[in-house]
Structure 1
């Protein structure tokens, strides 16, 4: 009898549609190797089975209990932030990806900055603002405004003039009650993926994002970005990026695969953010990175599942 694997997609965050695409890709890649059980979370929080019938949380837990492992492919808050990891922990179900603590910390961009700085990995200078304190911020130079806990570049704005500040803060605060206001970092956008497998760590070839302007939602999913993998890097820069990615992955306590995003400046890598459940269609950044090293998308997903099942 084949091993039952539950793949969870959707979610209640602004990344719902992206998560549906990732989950569909993962489930399709696992078909034929496992008995795949598809579960979906609607934007209103309703759980549905593979036939799109509403089954509720209790029903979902019952289905998960029949599976050997769960693959939570839910990006953003109420999924990637440790929420689904906690559900699996409480239900006693092995799962792919980072645990509760790592998911929660990595989703919080402010706390991630604090952890990175504590281990010597630079981040962009920035300040944490709330809805109450945002009005006191005074524009003096170009900045990037972003929600503390959101993904897919939702609510992220490049603010070049004082007139652009208030709308940018409002857009970020519409998604989160805390926002980051960071200095603009001049450098190449380089992503590195770290994969824990068999008790060791595997680092993917680096991927460079070449885009005209801000790498926002439209650039990410509208085809406007040029992904170059492996990125053309000097050996010293490649090693610095890999070392920083592994250090951050370890300090956050990540598991499974995580994407660590950097700006490569003239002074070396500057951490941008960490994604513990990055986009995961076959054409997303992480699968592209590992494909460049010879690990196909179906084999990558299979490896994640097998490692989660292994004691």
Structure 2
């Protein structure tokens, strides 16, 4: 029996965990825990070709009650949570553990929530990986898909190895973006309004399009195998562009400004654009 594990952690809860233990039924287990915060929200886990229906079980303590609603249709499992009683004048949100069994050969994985964090340890995907949170972080040791899209309003993105055959888009309003390696892509967009970007990039084609931008935060990237034109800018902060692949060997090290040039070969079709509004811009072309 194959095993996949995915974790979701609401930021104001003790913990919410999705653990997949192979193909079969889907179990949702809900537990309660006292807290001085009140929080209610909804998260949806979507699979394009699930093979099973969902079942629900729950536990409650004598001093805490929990209202849980679970819905399941052909392509999505949706669950919501809300505290039902007060504790010294405050509603008490639950500690929630969610166990979900998903097929190893799913086509797409999509999760969307108001408050929550995702730790993805699921299978390789045939098509798309999508994570969209208002408040919450996204973490994954490995993602393989045709397209990868991650969007958080408030929350960091921490990735191991990402392999995408087409596009990768990672956007945060408040939160850092970090990746050990992003490989195989044709187009890459990474944005952090408040937060740094740090990654090693391995595009699949020499003429890939790369667009990196921070409002407040550093951009620290190494790019391998890229051919084309680059433009790197810093609104206020050091700017460094270096590497043996730069045409003419003209490394740049200035404080605030813009550097332009070619990597590997002039008149190549690739495009690299990087901008750090307030922070260090450091790009190495290898």
TM range (shorter): under 0.3
The alignment's TM-score, normalised by the length of structure 1, stands at 0.22
TM-score (norm 2): 0.23
Q: Does 1 or 2 have the higher relative contact order (CA < 8 Å, sep 6+)?
A: 1
- The structure that has the greater radius of gyration is 2
